[in-house]
Structure 1
């Protein structure tokens, strides 16, 4: 007996339940379980009662649990519990993968069966195709004559071979292990086999992390020779992993590096380090005989104790002054290591920290490098009273130790009061006052404070009181003109501070100094507490701004300081050594997100020549951008030579085509006729499945055993593998 249901689009038939699809009529409609039942829709459905067979054609769709099968025609054999699908087949898996085929024969609720001419589109848009496949279980598919790639088909010619693909006689997709395994496989580029392997595997697209080799980097360096880096990524567990990277070079042998990362309940941390065993050389890179270990260790972490308290660390050390530059790990001249405990509750903040420094320049002397075993800062800001004023309290304790030089211990306590006031016509007046007491104990006092090597055997206590007061006035004038808002704001600040007691206290935290727009206003222009700006002075300037409705703006700050005393206490070259200071200014232009220009200058107050000029500019988007940096210091008082400094830096990236881009950077010293410092030029290709980068870099400077270097490197990425 045959029963024809249809024709007519939208005919829906409830097929049978349980392990087969055959007993839906026995189940009450109110108890329908879509995870077991199958819903069939088609243009035409024919039921053959004698042969226990259902045939459907025309826009056929079967919904079985989380699986959806679509085809031109299906034949369901009820007694055998099999579904044979033909023509334009698409099977949507619960994972999101989509299987396409010309013919399928499935059973076990569409979970197992045989497939001809299989094509799989994974959730990350990678693709796998096979001549035939057998779904042995719901989680295991075995394919023969298969090919895998993450490259999209060519738009002009879809039949063209992709950039890369992996071909294999046999491929196994195991969804339990989440791996795709290849046997007797070739790696092809543009259809040309370049590498054969009898076996390899990689994680399937559902895996975020999986152990395996990452893309190698091949390079050529005039310092360490030809080399290759072969990183291996190892997933230890869900909360920790590491990367092990051997670097093999022709001149320096093998360097081993590792990076470890872990997340814990209270925070996270990471470490990286490296080690190599090389020939000993002198500062001129001449072999002195013998071998030595060189390496580095670096790490950081932060952990929450409770809602108020956090502790952490940040360490960086190396065994050799030039090791980091030689192996392209870091170009820093000083390494800083710290451990800290910080807490904030309400308006109270506390920070306990310790510091260790490692100087890497030729002028650094390890015995004169300070160690800070303890530094505690505490700050409290009170609630505003009825007048808007508030009290503040600060405490600071510092211990500085040296193996060869002066040791310093400091205790500082300060109380202050701050009150703002705004007049009825918009003038803003702020009054601040503070009283600070400092107590020092120094051992092996320096005979010459400017010479760290002039330590003596003398010890001494120092004490002083530092009162200060400041009155600041601002009067912003605002005008709206269409969508443009204009602001003109004159600023004046009268400041007085003095030192009562010892005036020759040790100086540990105020050794460097810059006078610019950032410290034009304020009661103390020094960076730390050890140095105090004394006497009365008047800070004044004007702030002008133009702001657009879309967020663009242009601002200009210009100002100067006048000291009432001829002896300002500042050294020559700072811009504050005379009663009338140099002029400082900052111009910032940002009409849109793609352009930012900042120019900071300091002009000599007598001759109006540039004593300092800094320019930074950022132009472009993430795909096309240009950076410019320029600095000119007539007297670099914080430098090693304290002489003139002039330097320019440019960098940029340009998108050449859809997937191609070029990038580069260049740094040059413009002083004394000029000389190049470093240059870099590279080209990069990156699409959805393949990445390639070729870079050339040249260093023109010599640092003891690290000579000027030329380095070429090549890196290839096969996505999604790395």
Structure 2
């Protein structure tokens, strides 16, 4: 059964649902409807006002894996996120408050990922950033953040107690420097931008009694090279002092054609490294990450991104995409080759083709 609905309550609030439930775990894959290993169903309400945002959900997961117990799947009640941007500048910059909270429970603890039967986690992040541009065109953006966490967990495998309550206060600060170099040749514009970033934060707290529910997977690539925290969820925290450096290049041509390319690397300078083997970030220097996007014209786009060893000896992750658009007909074909990373849920190497 599949069902989806969205309803507008007023100019600010809306609500709806999006759900799929299957009585036979092989039905959707046998009929080429879906190859998802987990079906996700949710009921949600969302509020939008200017730059501010709030969302609340109830989420149910149903496994489609043969041999996997449904008792390992959590029910999330609720999952809440909110963002508020203050109207008035503070010290010439933007001040924002982000909040996230979830509470979930499952019948049995999951020993594969050391997650328990119940867990609640509330996070607030007060952040500030200010962009400054010199007469020479150098763009400098200092930023800082104060994060606070409250955890309550029960029956985490390997924990010393059946119930654990923890609080954390985690400050961080840094700056981002970019120097766009622009050259125009007739109708073609070239922009080459060196980027350097440094971030300082305390080491990630070691909480073996707290489960990692939302940050198990990790995909380090060119899109998150310059993020201050590269975990996919809030149950983990990227700590220590690190620097990120890279280059971006953009060529804008006639008739909507363009080339975008980037290449960069991350360096861990001090403090405990939060990442494990298979992440590409577990050493003093990271894997190289690069991306290339090419639009020949309005009909054809090509994309490629990769993560490879610093000495260029091996490609650990690569993905290629071809997109075609003709009038109202469009399609795409993608290929991915991903190395195994047991610490992040990939027990074996994977090759995927989809479109």
Contact 2:216 2:344 in 1 (8 A): no
How many residue pairs get matched?
A: 347
Tell me the distance in 2 between the aligned counterparts of 1:439 and 1:555. 41
Contact 1:336 1:356 in 2 (8 A): yes
Tell me the distance in 2 between the aligned counterparts of 1:603 and 1:383. 43
Which of 253, 264, 279 is the equivalent residue of 1:559?
Answer: 264
Q: 1:623 to 1:379 in 2, by over 3 A?
A: closer
Which of 589, 607, 614 is the equivalent residue of 2:319?
Answer: 614
Tell me the distance in 2 between the aligned counterparts of 1:366 and 1:392. 39
Deviation string for 1:97-145 (max 9, x for gaps)? xxxxxxxxxxxxxxxxxxxxxxxxxxxxxxxxxxxxxxxxxxxxxxxxx
Which of 517, 541, 547 is the equivalent residue of 2:252?
Answer: 547
Corresponding position of 1:642: 347
* CA-CA distance at 1:306 after TM superposition: 1.1
After superposition, residues 178-197 of structure 1 pair within 5 angstroms as none
Tell me the distance in 1 between the aligned counterparts of 2:45 and 2:236. 27
Q: 1:637 to 1:339 in 2, by over 3 A?
A: same
Q: 1:569 to 1:641 in 2, by over 3 A?
A: closer
Deviation string for 1:342-379 (max 9, x for gaps)? 11223332111110000101253211111101111121
Contact 1:464 1:499 in 2 (8 A): no
Corresponding position of 2:211: 506
Contact 2:277 2:343 in 1 (8 A): no
Q: 1:488 to 1:384 in 2, by over 3 A?
A: farther
Q: 1:501 to 1:536 in 2, by over 3 A?
A: closer
Q: 1:567 to 1:621 in 2, by over 3 A?
A: same
Corresponding position of 1:672: none
Higher strand share goes to which structure?
A: 1
Deviation string for 1:369-390 (max 9, x for gaps)? 1110111112101125286411
Which of 383, 391, 400 is the equivalent residue of 2:87?
Answer: 383
Corresponding position of 1:433: 144
Deviation string for 1:32-72 (max 9, x for gaps)? xxxxxxxxxxxxxxxxxxxxxxxxxxxxxxxxxxxxxxxxx
Corresponding position of 1:470: 174
Q: 1:328 to 1:483 in 2, by over 3 A?
A: closer
Q: 1:396 to 1:566 in 2, by over 3 A?
A: closer
Kindly indicate whether residue 302 of structure 2 is the aligned counterpart of residue 601 of structure 1.
no
The DSSP-based 3-state class of the residue aligned with 1:318 is coil
Range 602-611 or range 506-515, more displaced = 602-611
Contact 2:204 2:272 in 1 (8 A): no
Kindly indicate whether residue 128 of structure 2 is the aligned counterpart of residue 417 of structure 1.
yes
Give the TM-score of the pair, scaled to structure 1: 0.46
Which of 105, 112, 118 is the equivalent residue of 1:401?
Answer: 105
* CA-CA distance at 1:315 after TM superposition: 1.3
Give the structure, 1 or 2, with the largest relative contact order (CA under 8 Å, sep 6 or more). Answer: 2
Contact 2:217 2:345 in 1 (8 A): no
After superposition, residues 454-493 of structure 1 pair within 5 angstroms as 458-493=162-197
* CA-CA distance at 1:560 after TM superposition: 0.2
Aligned-pair RMSD on alpha carbons?
2.3
Contact 2:240 2:271 in 1 (8 A): no
* CA-CA distance at 1:637 after TM superposition: 4.3
Deviation string for 1:222-267 (max 9, x for gaps)? xxxxxxxxxxxxxxxxxxxxxxxxxxxxxxxxxxxxxxxxxxxxxx
Deviation string for 1:624-655 (max 9, x for gaps)? 98744221122244886522223445x7xxxx
Which of 366, 380, 394 is the equivalent residue of 2:70?
Answer: 366
Contact 1:376 1:398 in 2 (8 A): yes
Corresponding position of 1:443: 154
Give the TM-score of the pair, scaled to structure 2: 0.91
Flag structure 1 segments of 5+ consecutive residues without an equivalent: 1-296, 449-455, 652-722
* CA-CA distance at 1:530 after TM superposition: 0.8
Q: 1:501 to 1:567 in 2, by over 3 A?
A: closer
Flag structure 2 segments of 5+ consecutive residues without an equivalent: 110-115
Contact 1:513 1:526 in 2 (8 A): yes
After superposition, residues 161-560 of structure 1 pair within 5 angstroms as 297-385=1-89, 388-405=92-109, 406=116, 407-447=118-158, 458-499=162-203, 503-504=207-208, 505-560=210-265
Tell me the distance in 1 between the aligned counterparts of 2:197 and 2:274. 19
